[in-house]
Amino acid sequence: MTVPVLPDRYNASTTFIDANLQAGRGSKTAIVYGDQSFTYNDVAAMVNRTGNALLKLGVQMEQRVMCLLLDSPEFVASFFGAIRIGALPIPTNTLLKPADYEYFLNDSRATVLIVSEPLYASIEPVRANLKWLKHIIVVRASTSLSASTSLNASTSLSANPPGTINFADWIAHESPKLAPADTARDDACFWLYSSGTTGFPKGAVHLQHDMIYCAENYARGVLNMNENDRTFSVAKLFFAYGLGNALYFPFYVGATTILYPGRPEPKAIYETITKTKPTLFFCVPTAYAGLLALDDTSAYDLSSVRQCISAGEALPKALYDKWLAKWNVEILDGIGSTEILHIFISNRANQARPGSSGKLVPGYDAKIADENDQELPQGEVGNLLIRGDSICALYWNKHTKTKETIVGEWIRTGDKYSIDADGYFWYQGRSDDMLKAGGIWVSPVEVEATLMLHAAVFECAVIGLMDKDELLKPKAFVVLKQGFASSPELEAELKSFVKDKIAPYKYPRWIEFVSELPKTATGKIQRFKLRQRETEK
Ligand code: 3UK
């Protein structure tokens, strides 16, 4: 694969928007959204209108625009509209809590927030604490670019919240023409927040040239994506995974993307596939398990799908086998990260080794190293380092974390891997205590800190435990304070306590009451000992 040589002056919006018009695809469907569809001409116009509206608000190059948006045409307009003017969109996880958003907005100093109406309720409680935010644009379901969303009417606000602007009104009278900002190929382009075991999430700063690198090497190189494809991604656009799958990959090759704003429940996913006929289906292992758990699937038709893709966490062989047996389409597992932007190791069609992550994607190199960064002989388990030109430039305002993670051309992924004699990579777990639940990061430290707020909890430890589908979910070990007794009621109470306080997907699926926790001489909890104990059970 060859990534086109980019000129020094380069704005990514030209590759993903203008190039489609130049290729004569202006009247081709770019986005399918409910009963509506949008052509590449429509998309170009709404991107430019949004860019012009941002300029009118005084947004300048490099200023951040936080996008707390459901998958929708407005997401597309906001993301590329900001990039068009050299501003930096920050697609943001929609599943979090007000305190998380307060942190993102203040850390990034975003001056503009574009938020979908149902998510505004998570901003309202912290509005007074936002130090830099000047404008809130609300995408109202009732007046959105396309009326047909599957959003619950009860989340509709009766009027614009005070001090906010209605998205549709905001861009309505703007010009559909706008020249791209004079950005450089190595200018910042957008940010994505990534969480770690301890400390606050880190804003990974991606550059103008990063998206084209992933689109050419993975989308075209591995998936053979082309303009006849139709993409549907269960992973939402705010994830680095979904952003490629359902936005800049299809736009790179002039394909069609199917956007679905609702919760990705198994029935809704199957119905969407049956109705909209994607050729490429992107999903995560937990959702594949959910789709396979549905009993009656006789009404669904997946025959349009030429390839299924999985990422976010390792795809167990059993799920690969079951899916192939049921639908006769192969799932290609691949590993990507927010920092590297998309998938850098992947299985290939008809050459998959179920249970492995596959082979290197063109454009990337790998090293398996020991704790001293010495490369290990082939076959040994070690830390995976990756080189490739889509790696983020830095973590915003986190100089030490940046230096710990990105070393010259290489980035430490935090994953343990081994490589077999044929060059297939086998995932062996994390080198930190982080775990994924449903493909989304859970920091055990955050869950523990939340449990500690409960009056009954003396101390606790959280690890990942495999569920019946061999997928990790958080499990808590809890030592109760004197005077409290373990009971099923207390277990249920602790679970909902966590769900209330932090993003619900982080809650412990199991709680085991114990009398003590394994600790080092200095009192640090040894989560690895609890993990060992569980695997020996
Ligand atoms: C883990 C996997 C085993 C691994 C992502 C595709 O997941 C993505 O990004 P995140 O920043 O997480 C990265 C970490 O997740 N992981 C992801 N995929 C796999 N582990 N097998 C896999 N197939 O620990 C990695 O370091 O949330 C996925 C594309 C873009 C992405 N950002």
Q: Which helix (H) or strand (E) holds 246?
A: none
Q: Does residue 90 lie within any of the structural domains?
A: yes
Q: Does residue 166 lie within any of the structural domains?
A: yes
382 is written with which tokens? 């070690």
Measure the CA–CA gap between 102 and 225, rounded to whole angstroms. 38
- Mutation probe of ligand 1 site: the residue of 436, 470, 505 with most atoms within 8 A of C-beta: 436
Atom of ligand 1 nearest to the CA of 430: 24
- Mutation probe of ligand 1 site: the residue of 335, 338, 384, 506 with most atoms within 8 A of C-beta: 335
Atom of ligand 1 nearest to the CA of 343: 29
Q: How many other C-beta atoms are found inside a 10 Å radius of the C-beta of residue 111?
A: 20
Where is the domain boundary, 432, 459, 486? 432
Checking DSSP bridges between strand 135-139 and strand 112-116, what pairing results, if any?
A: parallel
Residue closest by Cα to atom 25 of ligand 1? 337
Q: Does residue 4 lie within any of the structural domains?
A: no
Which residues have a Cβ under 8 Å from the Cβ of 263 and sit 6 or more positions away? none
Checking DSSP bridges between strand 410-419 and strand 382-387, what pairing results, if any?
A: antiparallel
CATH assignment at residue 382: 3.40.50.12780
Q: Are residues 451 and 426 in the same domain?
A: no
Q: Are residues 164 and 245 in the same domain?
A: no
Q: Are residues 424 and 479 in the same domain?
A: no
Is the minimum distance from the CB of 508 to ligand 1 under 6 angstroms? no
Q: Does residue 295 lie within any of the structural domains?
A: yes
Q: Does residue 203 lie within any of the structural domains?
A: no
Q: Does residue 196 lie within any of the structural domains?
A: no
- What spacing in Å lies between the alpha carbon of 415 and ligand 1's midpoint? 9
Strands in 394-395's sheet, in edge-to-edge order, are 188-194, 202-207, 394-395
Q: Are residues 90 and 164 in the same domain?
A: yes
Strands in 112-116's sheet, in edge-to-edge order, are 88-91, 64-68, 112-116, 135-139, 165-166
Is the minimum distance from the CB of 335 to ligand 1 under 6 angstroms? yes
> What is the predicted pLDDT for the residue at 153?
41
> What is the predicted pLDDT for the residue at 424?
98
- Mutation probe of ligand 1 site: the residue of 197, 211, 337, 417 with most atoms within 8 A of C-beta: 337
Question: In which domain, by residue range, is 96 found?
Answer: 20-29+40-183
Q: Are residues 249 and 162 in the same domain?
A: no
Q: Are residues 153 and 233 in the same domain?
A: no
Q: Are residues 439 and 428 in the same domain?
A: no
Q: Are residues 272 and 173 in the same domain?
A: no
Q: Are residues 286 and 216 in the same domain?
A: yes
Measure the CA–CA gap between 29 and 278, rounded to whole angstroms. 13
Amino acid, single-letter form, for residue 248: Y
Q: Are residues 445 and 408 in the same domain?
A: no
Beta-strand (E) ranges in 294-373? 307-310, 331-336, 343-346, 359-360, 365-369
If one counts the domains in the chain, the total is: 3
Where is the domain boundary, 371, 401, 432? 432
> What is the predicted pLDDT for the residue at 536?
87
Q: What is the pLDDT along the chain (537 residues), one digit of tens a residue?
A: 688 899 999 999 999 999 999 999 999 999 999 999 999 999 999 999 999 999 999 999 999 999 999 999 999 999 999 999 999 999 999 999 999 999 999 999 999 999 999 999 999 999 999 999 999 999 997 656 653 334 444 455 667 888 999 999 999 999 999 999 999 999 999 999 998 878 899 999 999 999 999 999 999 999 999 999 999 999 999 999 999 999 999 999 999 999 999 999 999 999 999 999 999 999 999 999 999 999 999 999 999 999 999 999 999 999 999 999 999 999 999 999 999 999 999 999 999 999 999 999 999 999 999 999 999 999 999 999 999 999 999 999 999 999 999 999 999 999 999 999 999 999 999 999 999 999 999 999 999 999 999 999 999 999 999 999 999 999 999 999 999 999 999 999 999 999 999 999 999 999 999 999 999 888 889 999 999 999 888
CATH assignment at residue 465: 3.30.300.30
Q: Does residue 162 lie within any of the structural domains?
A: yes
CATH assignment at residue 45: 3.40.50.980
Residue closest by Cα to atom 9 of ligand 1? 337
Q: Does residue 526 lie within any of the structural domains?
A: yes
With beta carbons less than 8 A apart as the criterion, state whether 273 and 265 touch: no
Q: Are residues 57 and 25 in the same domain?
A: yes
> What is the predicted pLDDT for the residue at 149?
39
Where is the domain boundary, 397, 413, 432? 432
Measure the CA–CA gap between 396 and 88, rounded to whole angstroms. 12
Measure the CA–CA gap between 274 and 303, rounded to whole angstroms. 8
Q: Are residues 336 and 273 in the same domain?
A: yes
